Structure formats: C-alpha cells, structure tokens
Amino acid sequence: ILKKSVSTKPADQSIVASLRHVKKSFDDLDVLRDISLDLYQNENLVILGRSGTGKSVLIKCMVGLIRADAGEINVLGSSVRSLTPEQLDELRLQIGFSFQGSALYDSMTVRQNLEFPLKRSKTSYKKKELEDLVINALKDVGLENTSDKKPAELSGGMKKRVGIARTLILKPKIMLYDEPTAGLDPITATEINELILRVREKYNTSSIIITHDISCARQTSDRIIALVNGLN
C-alpha cells in the first residue's frame, strides 16, 4: 500500500480533524478498509487516488452524509459518529463542502444559491446584509457580475467558483473540496487551484482536497496522502 507525505506538520499546528481506523462497506464492497489521518490547522491536505478508491466517501463520512461502519471521526472537537442530527447540522455550519458537480440549484439565480445557506442558518440577516455577503463572496471568487445569472448560463469553471463562494459565505473553519478540477481545461483548472490557495490565505481555513489530478495535488498541497484500495 502506498503512503506518501510531501511535508511534515509544523510544531505549532493543532489538529482540527482526526480519523482513526475508519471503515465503510456497501453490501460486499469494502470501500474504506482502514483509514487513519489528521488534518492540521491552516493546512491543505490532498488525498490523492484513482476514481473509485473511496476518496469522496471518506469526506462524506467526515460530515455525516454517509455513516462510517467503524472507527473514530473527530472534527472540530466533536465525535461525528455520536452526534444527533441537530448536532450534525451545527457542525456542518463550520464546514464548507465543495461538491464535485458544484450542486447548484438550477432554478435559482447565483444570488439565490448563495443566499440559501444563509437563510437556513440560525442567524437572521437583513436584506442589505444578505446583499453584501453575496457580493463579497462572489468578489472572492472573481464573479461579482454573475449574481443574476442562472447556473445554466455559467461555464464549468464558473459553476465551480460559485459553488466555492456558497461554501465560503458562512465563513467555515474547514473546507472540503471534492475533485475541484474535474472536467475542467488546464487553464481553468489552474485558476481553481489558485483560488483554493487564496481561500486558505484569506480565511485561514484547513482544507482537504480530494483529487486524482496530479497537477492539482502539486499546486495546492502542503501534504499528500495516497489512497489505494481503501487504505492509506
């Protein structure tokens, strides 16, 4: 089994997420066989692997979208597998999840897509506050002029950026990127990689970047872990 780390953690970094001996199967298919890893404060950790090796399942287990069969998952001081649905929702407010397909609502404008998580949070926002948060989030990803467009009017790279903006709008402590450069041309993929680095710099986030793109891994990572046959 391949293990690789391109750097070691600085002594002053604390652990923000920890997985120990995590396992997940679907019927007779063992997807995650024994996964242990740590994510450190302000770190970009890349999990590299071929399609179908369980990378996306891993981060979905981290936020409780999929329940692990065994092992311990601790995120921001909470044991994920023991949380109630209400407690999971509270934890997810601190975690930005950038889905592979961007997961934008086709019937909504870009503005409405970004307002959606704000309106579902427990904080009440005035109309002007919502407008400012949306515009600032879009400025962060270089798309401040797209607020009234529908997802169908955007390119693949623009959809990725809007998806990232939607995750940033709640100022998460951890960012999870699922195949952020999948399906993009090399120039657009490089722009997304640079955006990931800017997000970390501006928001002081800790990030896990799931990818099978070697260029993405090299450009964005502080450390790389290779996932092979459900093991790391």
The one-letter code for the residue type at 49 is G
**What are 104's two structure tokens?**
């934008």
The confidence score (pLDDT) of residue 6 equals 45
Confidence class for position 41, pLDDT limits 50, 70, 90: very high
Quick one: average pLDDT of 128-146?
A: 91
Q: Tens digits of per-residue pLDDT, 181-205? A: 998 999 999 999 999 999 999 999 9
Closest to 43 measured CA to CA, from 229, 230, 209: 209
Q: Say which residues have a Cβ less than 8 Å from residue 158's Cβ, sequence separation at least 6.
A: 143, 146
Confidence class for position 9, pLDDT limits 50, 70, 90: low
Closest to 183 measured CA to CA, from 152, 156, 155: 156
The confidence score (pLDDT) of residue 230 equals 64
Confidence class for position 155, pLDDT limits 50, 70, 90: very high
Q: Tens digits of per-residue pLDDT, 76-97? A: 999 999 999 999 999 999 999 9
Taking each helix axis from N to C end, the angle separating 127-140 and 110-120, rounded to the nearest 10 degrees, works out to 120
d(CA 199, CA 187): 19
More confident residue, 3 or 47: 47
Q: How many CB atoms lie within 10 A of CB 7?
A: 10
The confidence score (pLDDT) of residue 5 equals 44
Phi first, then psi, for residue 125 (nearest 5°) are -120, 140
pLDDT above 90 (res 118): no
Closest to 163 measured CA to CA, from 189, 145, 183, 143: 143
DSSP for 212-225, please give it: S-HHHHHHH-SEEE
